[in-house]
Amino acid sequence: MKSIGHFTFHEITDQTDAWGEALEIVGSQREKIYQLKRSPAERVVFTGCGSSYYLSLSAAALYQELTGEPASAIPGGELLLNPQVALTRQKTTLVAISRSGTTTETIKAVEGFKAAGLGQVVVITNYESPLSEMGDLRVVIPAGQEESVAQTRSFASMYVAAGAYCALSAGRDDLLHAMAGLPAAGGRLLQQFAALAKNTGEDLHYDRFYFLGSGIRYGLACEVNLKMKEMTLTHSEPFHFLEFRHGPMSMVTETAVIVGMLSEQNLQHERKVLNEMRAMGGRILALAETGAEVSFESGIPESARGVLYLPVLQLMAYYRSLAKGLDPDRPNNLEAVVKLEL
């Protein structure tokens, strides 16, 4: 008989194998990605639902940062119900992201996009599925498949794939090469900071968590916030760093944990926010390449190492779930796939 949380624990702790597979699969599609870029679109739209939408937020920001071309993220449901707001007649590349490839809104949105003849479709998923069959470019990562409802390994594997796609779309083979170091770096983090994740997650003195991330990290802040909500039923919210000052910081007390996903470019400003929250009594947990409670020490360029923010925070939510007597494998009121009658 499997113990409570068995699947989630193993999906978090062995996820780096799926990162490696994601890199191999995207690398094998190099020529198709180059061919897609030879008939360039006027804009790129990333879409998904739930975790996949948050992934889209980070991927769109990364795509625009690396290529200098317009990119945005739109929830699958909005793309389906309000296409007149979400899309124009511009030639568009649609990047559809879904763990299962069977999410109703995403499938219907892609069907509508293709019927309108607006451009080509890139699909990133973990399963051969109805969605994957609709892709002009298909990235299917079986190693990211999961038994649990809440996405951990699947999200990270698809995020690595999206990052590799963005790098190749920008002609940055150097970044793809650097990303080969991610699995080893992720494995080190899981070993080195497992105790920190456990101790913080199990401390039920804390009753609220705020995840701060800006630029390409904001979508990741949204995702780890969702993990805290799903697995632990704890008050949790994501914010851009400077936005946190504009009202939300009124919620900071000695029972609040403020998690900061620090960047290199804006480190001075982001640390100042964290220092202010510490002075208000909040518990600060910072993640960065160096000089933080969780230091990556990866040597990988900032635009290529985003996935390293995830494992320790996923593990923290896992341990909090157990401490509250919950089952992280089966979060309250949730199913792994949302299917609607539309």
Q: pLDDT value at position 1?
A: 56
Alpha-carbon distances of 131 from 99, 222, 233, rounded to whole Å: 10, 24, 31
Q: How far is CA 268 from the centre of its chain?
A: 24
Cβ atoms 198, 190 nearer than 8 A: no
Check residue 333 and give its pLDDT: 62
How far apart CA 218 and CA 231 sit, in angstroms, is 20
Mean pLDDT taken over the chain? 95
Position 337 scores a pLDDT of 53
Q: How far, in Å, are 145, 184, 236, 297, 320 from residue 325 at the CA level?
A: 26, 32, 18, 34, 9
End-to-end CA distance of the chain: 39
Alpha carbons 56 and 220: distance in angstroms, whole number = 10
Concatenating the DSSP letter of every residue in 260-321 gives EE--STTHHHHHHHHHHHHHTTPEEEEEESSSSSEE------GGG-GGGGHHHHHHHHHHHH
Bridge partners of 44, per DSSP, are: 71, 93
Residue 126 in 3-state DSSP?
coil
Pairing of strands 283-288, 256-261: parallel
**Three-class secondary structure of residue 29 per DSSP:** coil
Residue whose C-alpha is closest to residue 153's, from 48, 47, 18, 53 = 18
Q: What is the pLDDT of residue 340?
A: 53
Give the pTM.
0.96
Tell me, what's the pLDDT at 342? 66
Model pLDDT, residue 270: 98
The CA distance from 46 to 121, in Å, is: 10
Low-confidence ranges of the chain (pLDDT < 50): none
For 191, counting Cβ atoms within 10 Å of its Cβ (0-12 exposed, 13-18 middle, 19+ buried), the class is: exposed
pLDDT at position 86 is 86
| Domains of the chain: residue spans and CATH | 6-180 (3.40.50.10490), 184-323 (3.40.50.10490)
For residues 122 and 112, what is the distance between their CA atoms, to the nearest angstrom?
15
Can you give the pLDDT at residue 335? Answer: 54
Instruction: Please give the pLDDT value at position 331.
Output: 76
